[in-house]
Amino acid sequence: MATVKEAVGEQQLWASRFKKETDPIAKAYSESVTIDRLMVDHNVWGNEAHVIMLASKDIIRDEHCREILKSLQQLKADFSEKKWDLSLQEEDVQMNVERYVINGVGIENGGRMHTTRSRNDQVVLDTRLYVRDHLLSVVEQLTSFIQELLELSTLHTETLMPGYTHTQHAQPMTYAYWLTHYAAVFLRDVKRILAAYDVTDLNPLGAGALTGTSFPIDRHLTTRLLGFQAVQDHALDAVGAKDYNLEILSAFSIFFSSLSRLADEIIYGITYEYNTMVLDDGFSMGSSMMPQKKNPGVLELVRGRTGKMYGILMHMLTTMKGLPSGYNRDYHEEKTTLVESLNLTHDSIAVMRGVMRTLVIKPERMKYLVDQNFATATELANYLVRKNDIPFRLCHRIVGYVVGQLVEEGKNFTDKARTKELLAEKNIEISDEDYDKVLTPSSVIYEYTSQGGVAPKEVSRMITQMQKQNAQFIAQMNQDKTRIKTAQQETSRIVNAVLKENKNVKEAIQEVVTNSIR
């Protein structure tokens, strides 16, 4: 009988027709073991589910399945204990694991593991298994961040601050209103990420190279054992379409656009000129020359790395735009882009949560700014419409005239006497009581009771609604986590039943299904 080395040779497992080994330059250029080390456990799980399915359909015998499962268990232990690692010779995790199994239990057993399967569906499978775990982790981080913003908002429904348009004072609002605005944006980001998760959470295994297989495989069984929501039906679509990748990167890019805006607003808020916020020392950086400096370095990096996230998305959009159907080696770029984007998102959320937890605001300074720069001018125009039945456009002109005159004189609405004189020039009389109600920011915010307005009662209502929506997203995330955990446990129980209890595969599967029904 031929030895393993004689049977499969020292070249890569796919090198059957080749007379020459891959050039070292080409091998180094095309390797993916560096990124694949993150996916060893996912690859092993996929292999377990695959060989269990093969044995259940009598495509391989129970004894072959048992030997393969035994070798996979040993591989996990060896990798965890750093006794074995991926090698450049075999290019990627898929071939490294298969080589390990063949070397461990022989070609007669290990050589059957790849039956009905291609690296095309294997690579996609491992990537999806890895990515969906980390997508749920991002959702967990982001929903926790949203909850923190909403809890902070409940403390500040009456804390005045100026609202801006075109970076100029516009109307009075509250700190809670500003915070909940970002909570609302981030809730949509969660929704987009969960939508991308649903597109990702489909089972490509069984697609083969591109057209499926002539063997009687059971793709629904592997779907269950791997905890996917459903089978990705079309085999060519399963190995060749990367829109799930693009959906993830698009969702992350949109999220970063909002995260960068939040960072930018804080950067302005902590300046001496604004002086409405104080950044914690733990999230600040000093200057090598100027000892007085306290720089918002991490916030600037969030802004800068937003560009990196956009670049990752553009990388994949450009990669995909000209590829023909079927698997192309260009697709190996997707693993790098997804891992990099997931890490970038994890780290950036963590930083912004830390910033917001420790950020100090200056309510007196914010109130002073609101009082000084005509933030209630719109409400004065609204008052004139209601009180005098004047068309809004004319009221707009009247108030604009008053503001213009006050600016020229270096005054503002805090000078009640002069403001009333200017209104009188336009035949407008206003009582002191109405003046205080209409032109005092702390009073005005209570009047904006329209749906979505700044009134404390309305903001409190929105906080409650956002908390409910956030709780629904958390419940959905936990449901997905539970399905994955259950699938891992079921696969492990089948593996243990086959290896430790010496049961046949069909019996082990039936036992798991029966216990699940109970």
Residues recognised as catalytic:
166, 287
Q: Are 97 and 48 in contact (CB under 8 A)?
A: no
Helices 40-56 and 505-517 pack at an angle, to 10 degrees, of: 100
- Identify the sign of the CA torsion 499, 64, 231, 252: positive
Q: Which helix (H) or strand (E) holds 483?
A: helix 456-499
CB-based burial, 291-310: b 16+ in 10 Å, e otherwise:
eeeeebebbebbbebbeebe
Q: What does the alpha-carbon distance between residue 122 and residue 120 come to, in Å, rounded to a whole number?
A: 5
Q: How far apart are CA 229 and CA 479, in angstroms?
A: 11
Distance CA 303, CA 479 (A): 33
CA atoms within 13 A on the CB side of 9: 11
Radius of gyration from C-alpha coordinates of the chain: 31
Residue 202: strand, helix, or coil:
strand
Residues 6+ apart with CB under 8 A from 308: 344
Q: Rounded CA gap, 202 and 197, in Å?
A: 9
